[in-house]
A and B are shown apart, each in its own frame.
Chain A
Amino acid sequence: GENVEQHPSTLSVQEGDSAVIKCTYSDSASNYFPWYKQELGKRPQLIIDIRSNVGEKKDQRIAVTLNKTAKHFSLHITETQPEDSAVYFCAPSNDYKLSFGAGTTVTVRA
């Protein structure tokens, strides 16, 4: 089955600094690479995604980069703000299988 690893498991950053979370997967058939954000007590929500024919995608302060050869993709958050504090999950998938990573708890210090 798909082996998905997220690093780091916890991340504490100073407000205004950048945060990077890496997701490594094993299934070469994966063709969809989303990141979900889950605030405390809330539901997971998609924040950005990328498909395998694209190497990088940006949306304001958030970006995702994909390296299919190395089988990893990363979430980049710039100019972090207190509202970025949450658990972030990667979820590489193909048509038949989606596997969530274990999550990265991000804390933004004021």
Chain B
Amino acid sequence: DSGVTQTPKHLITATGQRVTLRCSPRSGDLSVYWYQQSLDQGLQFLIQYYNGEERAKGNILERFSAQQFPDLHSELNLSSLELGDSALYFCASSTRTSQAGELFFGEGSRLTVL
């Protein structure tokens, strides 16, 4: 158990819909990262937050948005869903501001868009 909690574990929805994925980082970790992993694909970095502020941005689509709340949990919002958005979405946390440190991953949220 990494200490990072993600909900929901599985989500099935239709094209055009909107979903919210939630992540609670390890106790004391201020940084939260979101990654997308499609079938047989690597880990695509989406976005990083540190203590409530956006720190770094990767290949995140405009239809996607995220935020980190004062209690440090984070939410990833995916809207106008397309079939290609079906993937495993991982949240990770770390103690550091920088990306040069160990990331602790949650179990992931598997999104299926039909």
* Chain A residues proximal to chain B, CB less than 8 Å: 31-32, 34, 36, 42-46, 49, 89, 93-103
Contacts and interface: CB of A to CB of B under 8 A. Distances in A.
**In the A-B complex, the 3 residue pairs with the closest CB atoms:** A95-B98, A32-B100, A98-B99
A7 to B, nearest CB: 14
23 contacts: A31-B100, A32-B100, A32-B101, A36-B103, A43-B2, A43-B107, A44-B105, A46-B102, A49-B102, A89-B42, A89-B43, A94-B99, A94-B100, A95-B98, A95-B99, A95-B100, A96-B99, A99-B45, A100-B35, A100-B44, A100-B45, A102-B41, A103-B42
Contacts, number: 52
Given A94-B98, A94-B99, A96-B56, A45 B43 contact: no
Interface residues of B, number: 20
A93 B41 CA distance: 20
Main secondary structure, interface of A, reads loop
B25 interface: no
A49 B99 CA distance: 13
Interface string B4-41: 00000000000000000000000000000001000001
B49 interface: no
B43 A44 contact: yes
A35 to B, nearest CB: 11
Contacts of A89: 42-43
